[in-house]
Amino acid sequence: MSTGYVIIARDLFDSSVWREDSDTVRLFIWLIGTARFRKDPAKYRGFEVKRGDVLTSLAQISEGNQYTDNNKRVCWSRTKVSRMLKKLEVGGEIIMACDTFGTHLTIVNYERYQNPDTYACDNDGTACVRLVSGLCHNSNKDKNDKNDKNDKNKSGGKPPRSQSKRFQKPSIAQIEEYAHEKGYTGFDVESFWNHYESNGWVVGRVGMKSWKAAMANWNKNSNRYGTQSKGMTAEDIKKWNKT
């Protein structure tokens, strides 16, 4: 096919996100499909669009995701598009960089999603199991628990390789080191750690996938609301979640 392809994990269709918020899943798949896939960046005056980046607009996203329901054309409002993008950003799936050039965003794990080595065939070779966390990490907990037990029995009690890819919460030292590495001046490490430690490292209603992406979002929103010097309070976070 001359139009190329993208990789989508099959377990997406069994996920709670697919059942509960199909519009956000539709948007995420659309972003993956429209992201720049070439390794060399597209250079524009003053900025670049790298592999895994999407340069678009709220209007273009709405137009690109139109569909027909009961013989009526359904088109997302810009407010709804903005809300879904915020949900993906808070969940650590994308990093937003809205500027004068339009809506410029980066898909956080694009390279891992589109790398065939990220996936492994199951025993009969008919399905693929994703080894990295993402939108579908919360799918059918009972089924996952049963599979984990079977995997341990087959491996003599040793955890399967896929378990090593699950989210591991960072230590305070790791957060401090990463904040220093990224130049997050005045980043309140203690407030960040205490907030997510108290809620079980959950973003919204979804388990965290990338604490580094969460730090990037926290730092950006702290700067937006001028809260770096005193950390993000509960009121600051409530205000953040409403935007």
Nearest-CA neighbor of 237 among 229, 224, 171? Answer: 224
Q: In the listed set 165, 181, 199, which residue is the last one of a domain according to the structure?
A: 165
Q: How far is CA 206 from its chain centroid?
A: 10
CATH code of the domain in which 24 resides: 1.10.10.10
Judge if 128 and 153 occupy the same domain: yes
Domain region containing 179: 172-226
Average pLDDT over residues 173-179: 89
- Residue at 50 is within a domain: yes
Note the pLDDT of residue 150. 57
- Residue at 233 is within a domain: no
- Residue at 237 is within a domain: no
| pLDDT at 114 > cutoff 60 | yes
Judge if 87 and 18 occupy the same domain: yes
- Residue at 73 is within a domain: yes
Note the pLDDT of residue 231. 45
| DSSP reduced 3-state for 176 | helix
Band of residue 69 on the pLDDT scale cut at 50, 70, 90: confident
- Residue at 243 is within a domain: no
* pTM score of the predicted model: 0.51
- Residue at 56 is within a domain: yes
Judge if 194 and 128 occupy the same domain: no
Count other Cβ atoms within 10 Å, centred on residue 63: 12
- Residue at 235 is within a domain: no
- Residue at 156 is within a domain: yes
pLDDT of 186-211, one tens digit each?
888 888 888 888 888 888 778 888 99
Note the pLDDT of residue 240. 46
Element (H, E) at 73: strand 72-74
Q: In the chain, how many domains are there?
A: 3
Judge if 44 and 82 occupy the same domain: yes
Q: Please, what's the b/e burial string for 190-200 (b: 16 or more CB within 10 A of its CB; e: otherwise)?
A: ebbbebbeeee
Average pLDDT over residues 169-184: 88
